[in-house]
Amino acid sequence: MGKRHQKRVVVALGGNAITRPGDDGSVATDYINLHTSLDGILRLIKRGYHVTLTHGNGPQVGNQMIRVEMARGMAPDLPLDVVVADLQGGLGYMIERVLRNKLHAADLRQPVCGLLTLVEVSLDDPALSNPTKFVGPFFPEEEVEKLTSERGWLMKEDKGRGWRRVVASPDPIAVVETAEIRALMDLGILMIVTGGGGIPVARLEDGRLRGVEAVVDKDLASAVLARDTDAEELFILTGVDQVALHFGTPEEEKIDSMTTTQARAYLDQGHFPPGSMGPKIDAACRFVESGGHRALITDIATLEDALDGKTGTWILPAEP
């Protein structure tokens, strides 16, 4: 069954592959979106790639935290690492089921396995003392003081839309199950892992793992996974077909390719905001700087066109 001759690629599915802007967020709608989105994965397999899938969970985390809020006083609270684990299992199941059905219909004999994945972070990470990641529902300003005092939450205003809880987003160090994932990849199995950035855990001095109230960026975790499983390429699939300078302005300039040096210079100049394209550029650069051949940023709907050189943005190694 082994397929070591295949080109290994980690494909990071963005949130719009599952729940698109304006959707009702229902499971039925998510299945419709996955049915379309995962066609691109079949095309990669047909092109000879050995695919490992990761995925986001942003909209789903928000919905789950609304459920937790509505059940407060009637059901036990859920810590954030358990919420991420729940969603990783649920979304992984949905992706695997749709993918297996598509593979069956296409008569492709590709084994698939979803795996709950822990991602190690450091308790010394400065991000843990400076939470910046918005999660969960919106609250009116008059409720902020009560939420802060009763629940110990840190609350910030989210661009005039209301007040939300913010949590830490520490850097991923390693995927805990890397050895198991590599062993299954060596057997030719398509893995679905690191969902939602992985379940954040910290390793204590005695070697035990402890859950952390945080969320890990999905693209940064995917870059770590790709690095440690010797993937040759990393595909970060998002809501735009190409990266652009001066995005959304009359001076917008789309980029076909750039070196990690160029990408980091643009990042420092503020072209790629922290809440949107910034982490994707950073993740692509980290992967290539750690030895990856190249990274691609594009929309899942334009993935095949990007592989044919018609669109997409490639991040390439810095020139010697």
Residue 58 annotated among the catalytic residues of the structure: no
Q: How many residues does the chain have?
A: 320
In angstroms, the CA 181 to CA 101 distance is 23
CA distance 190 to 75: 37
Map residue 206 onto helix, strand or coil. coil
Residue 43 DSSP class: H
Residue (of 121, 109, 39) closest to 80 by Cα position: 121
CA dist list (Å): 33 to 16, 170, 214, 284: 8, 30, 28, 25
Q: Which of 56, 114, 136, 280 is catalytic?
A: 280
103 sits in which H/E element: helix 80-105
> What would the two tokens of residue 263 be?
């990408």
Catalytic residue chosen out of the listed positions 14, 16, 136, 197: 16
Q: Is 48 a catalytic residue?
A: no
218 part of the active site: yes
Exactly one of 102, 133, 197, 198 is catalytic; which is it?
133
Is 197 catalytic? The answer is: no
Is 101 assigned a catalytic role? no
Catalytic residue (one of 92, 218, 292, 312): 218
Q: Let me know: does 119 contact 194? Beta carbons within 8 Å.
A: yes
Which residue in the list 15, 58, 114, 198 is annotated as catalytic? 15
| Angle between helices 58-70 and 80-105 in degrees, nearest 10 | 130
Point out the residues that are catalytic.
Answer: 15-16, 133, 218, 280
